[in-house]
Amino acid sequence: MTAAVSERLLHVAELGCEREGRLLFSGLNLELATGACSALTGPNGSGKSTLLRCITGLYPDYEGLIEAAPTSYLGHRPAVSPGLSVMENLRWFAALSARPATPAAADSELIERLEVVGLAGYEDVLCGRLSAGQHRRVALARLCLDESPLWLLDEPFTALDLNGQDLVRALIAEHCAKGGAVLCATHQDLGVPEAAELRLGVRR
């Protein structure tokens, strides 16, 4: 991933959204440049997940302007197939991403990613046999394979132990240091130095 200095990766202007007859937010403005990280906070039902889904294109029912660089979205559910092994899940994602590599080279990269997220030795284990925290680690390994400059993370600390939470923070810091940007919806302290905060409030 390469990015110019201070390149704008996300521009949101005068964004408004309703769900089930309730206004979640209106007149919302947000910008993220390369190297920036922002924590999206607020009570349950305030629209954090909906905002991320609007940005990534999964929820088109909004008003306003969204301009975003290519994004990688990690939802609060890890979206891991329980009937596939850990490696099969990652191979499937790598194939979708059209990453050019020989099978041996591709598997070598996937194994490296699993080592990073603490799943070395679990390559052939069915994901249905993993814990919720291990599912999240598989999803983090998948995130590391994506070269999109903008990461949208929805409650990435879910089900993770303290070491896993520190891993998330390290991955965010590394991504930003390489010129990416991160918008993270969380109820926990993001723990990333200089991260900005955007707080959403429930509107009735």
pLDDT of residue 4: 44
Indicate the residue type of 119: L
**Domains, in order of start, for the chain:** 8-70+148-199 (3.40.50.300), 86-134 (no CATH)
pLDDT of residue 146: 87
> Quick one: 102 exposed, middle or buried, by C-beta within 10 A (0-12, 13-18, 19+)?
exposed
pLDDT of residue 102: 52
DSSP letters for 44-68: TTSSHHHHHHHHHTS----EEEEEE
> Cα–Cα distance between 124 and 101 in angstroms, integer?
21
> Sheet containing 196-199: which strands, arranged edge to edge?
71-74, 150-154, 181-185, 37-41, 196-199
β-bridge partners, 16: 63
CB atoms closer than 10 angstroms to residue 95: 10
Query: Which two three-digit tokens encode residue 14?
Result: 């005068």
The residue ranges of the chain whose pLDDT is under 70 are 1-6, 98-105, 202-204
Query: Which two three-digit tokens encode residue 154?
Result: 């929805």
pLDDT of residue 131: 97
pLDDT digits (tens, 9 = 90+) for 16-66: 999 888 899 999 999 999 999 999 999 998 999 999 999 999 999 999 999
pLDDT of residue 3: 44
- Contact between residue 28 and residue 15 where contact means Cβ atoms under 8 Å apart: yes
Where in 69-166 does DSSP place strands (E)?
A: 71-74, 150-154
